[in-house]
Structure 1
Amino acid sequence: MSDADILTTAEGRRLAYHRSAGAAPGVVFLGGFKSDMEGTKAVHLEAWARRNGRAFLRFDYSGHGLSSEEFTDGCIGDWTTDAMTAISELTEGPQILVGSSMGGWIALLCARAMPERVAGLVTIAAAPDFTEDSMWAGFDEAQRAALINEGQVALPSDYGEPYVITRRLIEDGRDHLVLRAPLSLPFPVRFLQGTADEDVEMAVALRLLDHARGPDMRLTLVDGADHRFSDPDCLGLIEAALEEVLSRAGGGA
């Protein structure tokens, strides 16, 4: 793999990225919480884009992967700003956003803040508002007290070392909720969700579908698929959803 390029943001954060030239509208992959641009889905979609001559961008939020800053210094607002900067500086015209888990939430925030730059949306196990509805709502009294008094709490993770959750992450998340106010998605949207996902419950996908408003939204539930959504069948479904959104957005497949 070639070395990543670097984009320095107005805030001084250094974002690592890989960009492929190709046809418009391009595709931007937005990764999940504590994930990075070398994940299975990001790399698979880059290969898909190259085969199809489609412009493609994958990058690491600050505090993730090869980008600068510490993970515990970041929050939803910072990572959304990173995403909007990457879209603004590294792509041209409207893009198809593919958001995985937290990346689904960030894609929705981008769509709300810069709708003129979004031609369509594909989410994979989208986790909108998870800092409030999953983390904070799931904390016991001791965890809430630790968060408030000590500024952070460690949560066990199935993906490696514990997640250190900061008070700033929770409080900032409340300023970026998308399921409490009208959410307009005026372009083709495909939500993908596994029924065996233990990190994002199926009810979240149903709530998102019911809450958002748009002329062309569909939710696909995949029996037995987990949160990774990265086996060959699931990767094929992501490709199919992306091709459908591209077709309906006028970009062909």
Structure 2
Amino acid sequence: MADVLETRQGRRIAYHRTAGTGPTVVFLGGFKSDMGGTKAVHLEAWARARGRAFVRFDYSGHGESSGRFEDGAIGDWFVDAQAVLEMIAGPLVLVGSSMGGWISLLCARAMPERIAGLVTIAAAPDFTEDSMWAGFDVAQKAMLDREGQVALPSDYGDPYVITRRLIMDGRDHLVLRAPLHLGCPVRSLQGTADADVDVGVALRLLDHATGPDIRLTLVKGADHRFSMPECLDLIVTAVEEVLDLIRG
């Protein structure tokens, strides 16, 4: 059963924590995903086997945490993530998947002294603006303005309900429009067959971010889930490489 952290905003954030040596590895999941996903659970198993400190959690409106998904926005989930990170002592290595990649970048920008390393998997920075809003047709934009929400089909289950608040709040948290310095080792992983986040997004992030040690690995044929055994192995390798660099 998950532990629960109550935030200053009154949200109840469910999390699982594995005791071990630091830096603590923290998994940040994707949009409408949860901490029971393949990548999060695989990393937890790796952490237990290696005696590594590890945390996975659900943003509000996701998984076992409180709230409705439709009521949330990037800023809310960023605050949730910060609350989880603040509960953990010592340096942190963030592993951000899809939207979690965006939120991990926000955390790295907001609390650089805490973030010792960063691994992103199909990172989707600024996706509410560059993918959702940019992809809406005239009718969808009119519906969003008129009704405050629009439903988008999803390959992962029920349609995604996209709210006007999600779009507007996203504009307050963009990371590709202003300087983004990442002073820790960064390893980004991206599949070339990703139908949700184009390779161009990974290249744009690589070009935009500044820092002493930022590397991007493209995996031919890997999709957005990035959950095939060989992809899971690459995630572990990236995390271990970052941890080795921190120790070194």
Query: Is TM-score (shorter-chain normalized) higher than 0.5?
Result: yes
The aligned runs of 1:5-16 (5 Å cut-off) are 5-16=3-14
In the alignment, what sits opposite 1:176? 173
User: Aligned match of 2:28 in 27, 30, 50?
Assistant: 30
In the alignment, what sits opposite 1:136? 133
Q: How far apart in 2 are the matches of 1:13 and 1:183? A: 29
Letter in 2 for 1:5: D
User: Aligned match of 1:72 in 46, 70, 95?
Assistant: 70
Q: How far apart in 1 are the matches of 2:106 and 2:228? A: 28
Q: How far apart in 2 are the matches of 1:43 and 1:113? A: 27
Letter in 1 for 2:31: F
Normalized against structure 2, the TM-score is what? Answer: 0.99
| Gapped regions of structure 1 (runs ≥ 5) | none
In the alignment, what sits opposite 2:161? 164
Q: How far apart in 1 are the matches of 2:66 and 2:161? A: 18
CA root-mean-square deviation = 0.6
Q: How far apart in 2 are the matches of 1:94 and 1:129? A: 26
In the alignment, what sits opposite 2:49? 51
Is residue 153 of structure 1 aligned with residue 150 of structure 2?
Answer: yes
The aligned runs of 1:195-234 (5 Å cut-off) are 195-234=192-231
Q: How far apart in 1 are the matches of 2:79 and 2:112? A: 15
In the alignment, what sits opposite 2:123? 126
Q: What is the CA-CA distance between 1:116 and the residue it aligns to?
A: 1.1
Q: Deviations along 1:130-161, whole A, 9 cap, x unmatched?
A: 00000000000000011111000000000000
Structure 1 runs (4+) greater than 3 angstroms displaced: none
Letter in 2 for 1:148: D
Q: What is the CA-CA distance between 1:22 and the residue it aligns to?
A: 0.6
In the alignment, what sits opposite 1:21? 19
Q: What is the CA-CA distance between 1:59 and the residue it aligns to?
A: 0.4
In the alignment, what sits opposite 2:80? 82
Normalized against structure 1, the TM-score is what? Answer: 0.97
2:158 aligned counterpart, secondary structure: coil
1:104 aligned counterpart, secondary structure: helix
Letter in 2 for 1:119: A
2:26 aligned counterpart, secondary structure: strand
Q: Deviations along 1:95-139, whole A, 9 cap, x unmatched?
A: 000000000000000000011110000000000000000000000
2:172 aligned counterpart, secondary structure: coil
In the alignment, what sits opposite 1:189? 186
Q: What is the CA-CA distance between 1:249 and the residue it aligns to?
A: 1.3
Q: How far apart in 2 are the matches of 1:190 and 1:100? A: 12
Q: How far apart in 1 are the matches of 2:95 and 2:174? A: 19
Q: Deviations along 1:154-204, whole A, 9 cap, x unmatched?
A: 000000000000000000000000000000000100000000000000000
Q: Deviations along 1:198-234, whole A, 9 cap, x unmatched?
A: 0000000000000000100100000000000001000
Q: How far apart in 2 are the matches of 1:52 and 1:185? A: 27
